[in-house]
């Protein structure tokens, strides 16, 4: 297997190709695996994430641009300005396959443009082009203008105004999809890099080791999910179905994680969104097509259309801020994509402000005159606008809840719902304790996608059954989920297109794609997954993160969850036990450092 990295120096306006050593491909495979390796090797300890020394890297997965369905995701890897940790943010669409068509398994960008510019990458060269006229444009308009200039078939990753202003939770937008989390857009903005344009013209899909066998595997899989109810439902209405399910179980966070009951939840249910659907959307080669475009039909936001919102955005601009107007959710989703900010972080920032206002910790005077009552649409719209432009209170809130709460003081930290600075997604930790532990020990902060606990959400009994409210027996499950996810993200497999995709099928596909015998060994893949997670942890340890950072907001250990159906009264009674369980399962010592035998067994000794 020959893999190639494209290196770009924005300061010097130079680029060159570099082969990935075969040993690295064996150890880290591709996608997020290579991302973890290059992040650890190339991002110096202690650098400012918004300085030219930071690397901004893009990786497609091993199976990008192959006929394997659901493997078209790509990842951005960098040091996060929001958390100071390792960052990986995943996105769908066509950019990853476009890179693969050009034979690129990674793009490593260093330095910074003197004036706003963009990269045009095609089969012949990398062009360093000026973007003065694009600076200040929305993510949607930027893509429109660049497609007019180059070709309708190019793939574009761009930042919006929020990235330009270095909002610490700004995203990178591709089509209408987002590499949303951890402020990857701010890193791009700090480099004066408005966009990356990739033209796959005259490129070729990756050569497969056994095309015939690969084709049989993908066709069998496609047939097995064609009539599968999960796939059909995802195509029909995406993850909107989860809202009422999570609410029923007391897992849907309400009012900045204060409780678990939202009156009028029906108004933002799948049934309500089904009346607003316009069309669906799919990423490159995907047979699931889970993207849904919804249009507001009435009220003040009538006529607004957005791809999504998915469950997370329904949480962020629904339960989190005590809102049941789907129009406001769709409009907020649209604004976040238009300006290029993460919907989860933005929604949680709004919820944080509303709780501070409720408790009298912050006043309207400090909020530029905004009376931040729960669910008030004008407040939501104003705060989004102020944050992306960094005007007034928006300049403080653009730093995220952790930094904002410290600067505000007066006990505000207690109401900042984040882990390591990354705002929490839409699963109440007290009602799904493995999920919560997963947030706490994730190497990117409070993310549900670093090791989604399906055991708690959909009753998965692999590796075993768990009780979501129990105060022990979670650590091994969290470790298992993280490793499994890391394996999948070498591909890079989508969380929604994974119906009937087993580890065995992944292994078979990897082998038939590359001919590397080790890839047909499930233990080899599992070791690679663990290696990736451990190396990401080593990155954070080098930055000074320790056991004290692997924890949830204190609310979840001190306040029993009120008004949350069957989860009412639950809280973390002995969090340290769970943390010890995780450390043991992942091969870490009591301070969260990898034990020496793990370093040796995973062949990481020479790297660190």
Partner 1 sequence: MKIVVKLTDKFIFGNIFKEDWIELEIAKPTLREAIDSLIKYTNNKALSLFGLHRIFDSYLFILNGLKVLDKTEYEVPIFKDGDTLTIAPLISGG
Q: Does the footprint of partner 1 cover residue 565 (CB under 8 A)?
A: yes
Q: Does the footprint of partner 1 cover residue 467 (CB under 8 A)?
A: yes
Q: Find the binder of partner 1 among 312, 342, 488, 512 (CB under 8 A).
A: 312
Q: Does the footprint of partner 1 cover residue 560 (CB under 8 A)?
A: no
| Closest distance to partner 1 from the beta carbon of 224 (Å) | 11
Say how far apart CA 522 and CA 167 lie, in whole Å.
Answer: 41
Sign for the CA dihedral angle at 479, 482, 488, 491 comes to: negative
Q: Find the binder of partner 1 among 51, 138, 274, 601 (CB under 8 A).
A: 274
Query: First vs last Cα of the chain: how many Å apart?
Result: 25
Q: Does the footprint of partner 1 cover residue 358 (CB under 8 A)?
A: no
Q: Does the footprint of partner 1 cover residue 241 (CB under 8 A)?
A: yes
Q: Find the binder of partner 1 among 245, 520, 557, 563 (CB under 8 A).
A: 245
Q: Does the footprint of partner 1 cover residue 471 (CB under 8 A)?
A: no
Contact 372, 361 (CB under 8 A): no
**In the chain, helix, strand, coil percent, each to 5?**
45, 15, 40
Residues 171-190 that bind partner 1 (CB under 8 A): none
Stretch that binds partner 1, among 142-150, 264-272, 526-534, 575-583 (CB under 8 A): 264-272
Q: Does the footprint of partner 1 cover residue 322 (CB under 8 A)?
A: no
Say how far apart CA 294 and CA 566 lie, in whole Å.
Answer: 32
Q: Does the footprint of partner 1 cover residue 269 (CB under 8 A)?
A: yes
Stretch that binds partner 1, among 119-127, 245-253, 409-417, 586-594 (CB under 8 A): 245-253
What would the two tokens of residue 161 be? 């105004």
Residues 205-234 that bind partner 1 (CB under 8 A): 228-230, 233-234
Q: Does the footprint of partner 1 cover residue 310 (CB under 8 A)?
A: yes
Q: How far from 594 is each of 29, 532, 586, 603, CA to CA, in Å? A: 21, 12, 8, 12
Q: Does the footprint of partner 1 cover residue 425 (CB under 8 A)?
A: yes
Say if residue 98 is exposed, middle or buried (CB neighbours under 10 Å; 0-12, 13-18, 19+).
buried
Pick the closer one to partner 1 by CB: 202 or 465.
Answer: 465
Q: Does the footprint of partner 1 cover residue 469 (CB under 8 A)?
A: yes
Contact 88, 77 (CB under 8 A): yes
| Closest distance to partner 1 from the beta carbon of 212 (Å) | 29
Contact 510, 526 (CB under 8 A): no
What residue has token string 């990935």? 20
Residue by residue, DSSP assigns 114-182 as: SS-EEEEE-SS-EEEEE-TTTTT--HHHHHHHHHHHT-TT-EEEE--HHHHTT-TTB-EEETTEEE-GG
Q: Does the footprint of partner 1 cover residue 239 (CB under 8 A)?
A: yes
Q: Does the footprint of partner 1 cover residue 145 (CB under 8 A)?
A: no
366 DSSP assignment: G
Pick the closer one to partner 1 by CB: 222 or 460.
Answer: 460
Task: Point out which residues bind partner 1 (CB under 8 A).
Answer: 228-230, 233-234, 239, 241-242, 244-245, 247-250, 269-271, 274, 310-312, 425, 448-449, 452, 454, 457-461, 465, 467-469, 495-496, 565-567
């Amino acid at each position: 297997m020959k893999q190639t990295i494209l290196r770009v120096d924005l300061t010097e306006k130079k680029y060159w190709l570099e082969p990935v050593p075969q040993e690295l491909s064996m150890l880290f495979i591709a996608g997020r695996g290579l991302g973890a390796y290059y992040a650890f090797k190339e991002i110096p300890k202690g650098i400012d994430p918004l300085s030219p020394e930071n690397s901004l890297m893009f990786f497609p997965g091993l199976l990008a641009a192959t006929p394997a369905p659901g493997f078209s995701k790509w990842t951005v890897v960098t040091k996060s300005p929001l958390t100071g940790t390792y960052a990986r943010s995943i996105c769908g669409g066509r950019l990853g396959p476009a890179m693969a068509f050009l034979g690129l398994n990674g793009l490593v960008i260093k330095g910074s443009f003197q004036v706003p510019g963009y990269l045009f990458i095609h089969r012949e060269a990398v062009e360093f082009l000026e973007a003065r006229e694009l600076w200040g444009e929305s993510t949607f308009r930027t893509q429109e203008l660049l497609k007019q200039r180059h070709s309708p078939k190019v793939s574009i990753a761009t930042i919006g105004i929020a990235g330009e202003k270095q909002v610490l939770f700004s995203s990178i937008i591709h089509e209408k999809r987002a590499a949303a989390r951890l402020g990857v857009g701010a890193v791009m903005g700090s480099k004066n890099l408005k966009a990356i344009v990739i033209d796959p013209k005259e490129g070729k899909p990756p050569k497969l080791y056994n095309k015939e066998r690969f084709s049989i595997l993908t066709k069998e899989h496609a047939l097995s999910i064609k009539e599968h109810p999960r796939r059909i439902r995802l195509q029909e209405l995406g993850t909107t179905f989860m809202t009422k399910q999570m609410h029923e179980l007391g897992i849907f966070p309400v009012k900045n994680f204060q409780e678990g009951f939202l009156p009028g939840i029906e108004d933002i249910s799948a049934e309500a969104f089904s009346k607003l659907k316009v069309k669906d959307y799919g990423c490159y080669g995907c047979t699931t097509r889970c993207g849904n475009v919804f249009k507001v039909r009435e009220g003040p936001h009538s006529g607004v259309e957005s791809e999504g919102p998915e469950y997370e955005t329904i949480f962020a601009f629904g339960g989190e801020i005590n809102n049941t107007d789907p129009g406001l959710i769709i409009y907020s989703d649209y604004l976040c994509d238009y300006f290029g900010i993460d919907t989860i972080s933005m929604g949680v920032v709004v919820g944080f402000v509303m709780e501070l206002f409720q408790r009298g910790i912050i006043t309207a005077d400090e909020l530029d005159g905004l009376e931040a009552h729960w669910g008030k649409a004008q407040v939501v719209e104003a705060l989004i606008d102020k944050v992306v432009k960094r005007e007034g209170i928006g300049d403080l809130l653009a730093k995220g809840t952790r930094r904002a709460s410290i600067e505000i003081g007066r006990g505000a930290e207690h109401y900042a719902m984040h882990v390591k600075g990354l705002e929490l997604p839409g699963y109440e930790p007290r009602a799904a304790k493995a999920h919560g532990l997963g947030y706490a020990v994730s190497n990117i902060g409070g993310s549900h996608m670093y090791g989604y606990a399906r055991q708690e959400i959909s009753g998965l009994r692999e590796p075993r059954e768990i009780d979501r409210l129990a105060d022990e027996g979670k650590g091994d499950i969290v470790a298992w989920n993280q490793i499994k996810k890391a394996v999948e993200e070498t591909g890079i497999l989508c969380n929604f297109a994974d119906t009937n995709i087993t580890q065995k099928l992944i292994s078979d596909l990897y082998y038939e794609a590359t001919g590397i015998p080790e890839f047909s060994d499930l233990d080899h893949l599992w070791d690679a997954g663990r290696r990736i997670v451990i190396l990401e942890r080593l990155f954070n340890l080098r930055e000074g993160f320790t056991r004290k950072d692997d924890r949830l907001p204190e609310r979840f250990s001190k306040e029993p969850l009120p008004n949350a159906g069957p989860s009412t009264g639950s809280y973390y009674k002995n969090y340290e036990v769970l943390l010890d369980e995780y450390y043991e399962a992942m091969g870490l010592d009591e301070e969260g450092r990898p034990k020496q035998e793990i370093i040796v067994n995973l062949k990481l000794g020479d790297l660190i």
